[in-house]
Amino acid sequence: MSSPDIPDLPAADFFAVESMLGQAERNKLAELRDFLAADVAPYAGDWWNKAEFPAHILPKLAALELSTPAHRGYSNLFAGLVIAEMTRVDTSLATFFLVHHDLFVESLHAFGSPDQKRRLLADASNLRITGAFALTEPLHGSDVAGGMETRARRISSGTGEADDAGDTWVLNGAKRWIGNGTFCDYMLVWARDEADGSVRGFIVDAGLPGVSRSRIENKIALRTVQNADIVFSDVRVPEADRFSGISSFEDTKELLRSSRIMVAWQTVGQQLAAFDVARQYAVERQQFGRPLAHFQLIQQQLVTMLGNTVASMGMMAGIARLQDQGAAGMPQVALAKSYLSARMRETVALGRSILGGNGIVTDYRMAKIFADAEAIYTYEGSFEVNTLIVGRAITGVSAFGG
Ligand SMILES: Cc1cc2nc3c(=O)[nH]c(=O)nc-3n(C[C@H](O)[C@H](O)[C@H](O)COP(=O)(O)OP(=O)(O)OC[C@H]3O[C@@H](n4cnc5c(N)ncnc54)[C@H](O)[C@@H]3O)c2cc1C
């Protein structure tokens, strides 16, 4: 991956992971980079400051045809580098892309009926409609699998009475933190079946009566992403909009494992961005009559940032290899997500420090990179939850509590 601003210095992709791609994939990545440089980089800080989502760029983003890369014949490494590169320029845009494509569209691919796919897949893949993934609840985040309180009751629309062969479901409950939740056309809602306690998935039209959404305000991270609190009050969803392929939370594990890989790639993108900005600043900013880059302590900080970044890319290239072999299990993925989240936190903190006071204003990019890292640290299984998944796998003992 090139460092566009300092062409005569080595790229932050110091071990040239990108060179493992074939030429066609490298060309596609270059296309993405051109789009990001022209249509995203100059404006991303402003969108973030104003907490505004740039819906107007979606047609151009869709035209790149990068969504759900596996269905388009791209490699796993390429899919990861796309997310890293997008994150490197704007974490919020990458998060929008992940929620829509890796959670909503992939769910349609994995669990949708032929009719659901026919109705939604083409438009969703081309961003003519947008989707959200509504799992987390106000009172249940890390423990949502067991603690989910949103309820689904199956009824007959004719009688309004409970009917285990009825044509309608009634949803009641609340979801929190739902990305794209304020403006999406559809959301994939997870709810517990009142009849047997199992978790079911529903494609809910956001315009249905009983759905109310409010934007979560005053965020310090991913401000461009529109996260919502969503309340469902007697929302009637046709049986035809239930995912018939889901009969328990276990069924979603494969999906969450894949999206977690993409979030782990976001930790790489964050570090590439932090290194790009900090190095440029260090070679330009003068103190004591010379650039910061002349000071040994600054060089050591930059080298630590680079080492973290290169190690993170190497680990993710290893995950891509395991994916190719069908051997990237949740413990491996959880290790990448937790370990690299910690590396990311160190890297962005060093970068912020190198920019001194300018590191706390978004005008210099670093403050946004620093703040956005906190959201990545927490979502798709927090650092602690992913650590506990690995701990359980390597000891045979669950330390989740409860
Ligand atoms: C910006 C953003 C976007 C998001 N987008 C979505 C979305 O689109 N859809 C969606 O469904 N959700 C989304 N989420 C929710 C996200 O998945 C949750 O925030 C996450 O799962 C953590 O849940 P929580 O915030 O309720 O924290 P809690 O579960 O309340 O955890 C609080 C703290 O306790 C720790 N903790 C919890 N349990 C244990 C334990 N057993 N041992 C040790 N420590 C523990 C956690 O690691 C964390 O540090 C998003 C969150 C954010 C911040």
pLDDT for 301 equals 98
Q: Residue 307: CB partners within 8 Å, gap ≥ 6?
A: none
Tell me the average pLDDT across 250-255: 86
Residues 163-199 as b or e (16 or more Cβ within 10 Å = b): eeebebbbbbbbbbbbbbbbebbbbbbbbbbeeeeeb
pLDDT digits (tens, 9 = 90+) for 213-238: 999 999 999 999 999 999 999 999 99
Cβ atoms of 193 and 152 closer than 8 Å: yes
Task: For residue 378, give the H/E element and its range.
Answer: helix 366-378
Distance CA 367, CA 356 (A): 11
pLDDT for 3 equals 53
Asked whether the predicted pLDDT for residue 250 surpasses 90, the reply is: no
Provide the residue type at 53 as one letter: F
- Which of 95, 136, 338 to mutate to test ligand 1, by most ligand atoms within 8 A of the CB atom? 136
Q: Would you mind telling me the total number of residues written for the chain in this entry?
A: 402
CATH of the domain at 360: 1.20.140.10
User: Given pLDDT bands bounded at 50, 70 and 90, which one contains residue 206?
Assistant: very high
pLDDT digits (tens, 9 = 90+) for 348-399: 999 999 999 999 999 999 999 999 999 999 999 999 999 999 999 999 999 9
What is the 388 CA–ligand 1 centroid distance (Å)? Answer: 14
Residue with tokens 């919020």, as numbered in its chain:
92
Q: Residue 214's CB: how many other CB atoms inside 10 A?
A: 11
CATH of the domain at 105: 1.10.540.10
Asked whether residue 158 falls in the same domain as residue 255, the answer is no
pLDDT digits (tens, 9 = 90+) for 23-43: 999 999 999 999 999 999 999
pLDDT for 244 equals 85
Distance CA 56, CA 65 (A): 17
Distance CA 387, CA 383 (A): 6
What is the 140 CA–ligand 1 centroid distance (Å)? Answer: 8
Q: Tokens representing 57? A: 């760029």
Counting from 1 in the atom list of ligand 1, the atom nearest the Cα of 99 is: 8
**Mean pLDDT, the chain, integer:** 96
Cβ atoms of 247 and 200 closer than 8 Å: yes
pLDDT for 248 equals 84
Examine residue 6 and state whether it is found in any structural domain, yes or no: no
Closest CA to 37 of 3, 81, 9: 3
Asked whether residue 362 falls in the same domain as residue 375, the answer is yes
**Residue 363 DSSP code:** G
Asked whether residue 266 falls in the same domain as residue 233, the answer is no
Asked whether residue 243 falls in the same domain as residue 270, the answer is no
Asked whether residue 235 falls in the same domain as residue 315, the answer is no
Q: Does ligand 1 lie within 6 Å of residue 173's CB atom?
A: no
pLDDT digits (tens, 9 = 90+) for 98-110: 999 999 999 999 9
Phi-psi region of 57 (alpha: psi -120 to 50; beta: other; left: phi over 0): alpha
Asked whether the predicted pLDDT for residue 402 surpasses 80, the reply is: no
Tell me the average pLDDT across 53-79: 94
What is the 15 CA–ligand 1 centroid distance (Å)? Answer: 33
Q: Whose CA is nearest to atom 50 of ligand 1?
A: 177
Domain boundary residue, one of 222, 248, 274: 248
Provide the residue type at 207 as one letter: G
Asked whether the predicted pLDDT for residue 1 surpasses 60, the reply is: no
Counting from 1 in the atom list of ligand 1, the atom nearest the Cα of 134 is: 11
Examine residue 11 and state whether it is found in any structural domain, yes or no: no
Q: Does ligand 1 lie within 6 Å of residue 125's CB atom?
A: no
Q: What is the DSSP string of 186-234?
A: EEEEEEEETTT--EEEEEEETTSTTEEEEEPPS-SS-TTS-EEEEEEEE
In a 13 Å sphere around the CA of 370, the CA atoms on its Cβ side amount to 21
Distance CA 263, CA 338 (A): 11
Domain boundary residue, one of 248, 282, 298: 248
Distance CA 45, CA 200 (A): 39
User: Residue 155's domain spans which residues?
Assistant: 131-248
Examine residue 56 and state whether it is found in any structural domain, yes or no: yes
pLDDT for 302 equals 98
Asked whether the predicted pLDDT for residue 210 surpasses 90, the reply is: yes
Q: What is the DSSP string of 317-331?
A: HHHHHHHHTT---HH
Asked whether residue 388 falls in the same domain as residue 258, the answer is yes
pLDDT for 6 equals 66
Examine residue 400 and state whether it is found in any structural domain, yes or no: no
Q: Tokens representing 115? A: 């009719």
Q: Does ligand 1 lie within 6 Å of residue 144's CB atom?
A: no
Tell me the average pLDDT across 142-147: 94
- Which of 385, 390, 397 to mutate to test ligand 1, by most ligand atoms within 8 A of the CB atom? 385
Asked whether residue 256 falls in the same domain as residue 381, the answer is yes
pLDDT digits (tens, 9 = 90+) for 305-355: 999 999 999 999 999 999 999 999 999 999 999 999 999 999 999 999 999
Asked whether residue 279 falls in the same domain as residue 390, the answer is yes
pLDDT for 290 equals 98
Distance CA 173, CA 187 (A): 14
Q: What percent of the chain has pLDDT over 90?
A: 93
Asked whether residue 119 falls in the same domain as residue 30, the answer is yes
- Kind of pairing between the strands at 131-134 and 186-193: parallel
Examine residue 12 and state whether it is found in any structural domain, yes or no: no
| Structural domains in the chain (count) | 3
Q: Does ligand 1 lie within 6 Å of residue 17's CB atom?
A: no
Examine residue 291 and state whether it is found in any structural domain, yes or no: yes
Tell me the average pLDDT across 68-86: 95
Asked whether the predicted pLDDT for residue 8 surpasses 90, the reply is: no
Asked whether the predicted pLDDT for residue 294 surpasses 80, the reply is: yes
Residue 217, class by beta-carbon neighbours within 10 Å (0-12 exposed, 13-18 middle, 19+ buried)?
exposed
Counting from 1 in the atom list of ligand 1, the atom nearest the Cα of 388 is: 42
Examine residue 167 and state whether it is found in any structural domain, yes or no: yes
CATH of the domain at 214: 2.40.110.10
Q: Residue 35's CB: how many other CB atoms inside 10 A?
A: 19
Domain boundary residue, one of 75, 103, 125: 125
Asked whether residue 371 falls in the same domain as residue 255, the answer is yes
Examine residue 402 and state whether it is found in any structural domain, yes or no: no
Asked whether residue 213 falls in the same domain as residue 188, the answer is yes
Distance CA 212, CA 394 (A): 43
Asked whether residue 102 falls in the same domain as residue 178, the answer is no
Q: What percent of the chain has pLDDT over 70?
A: 98
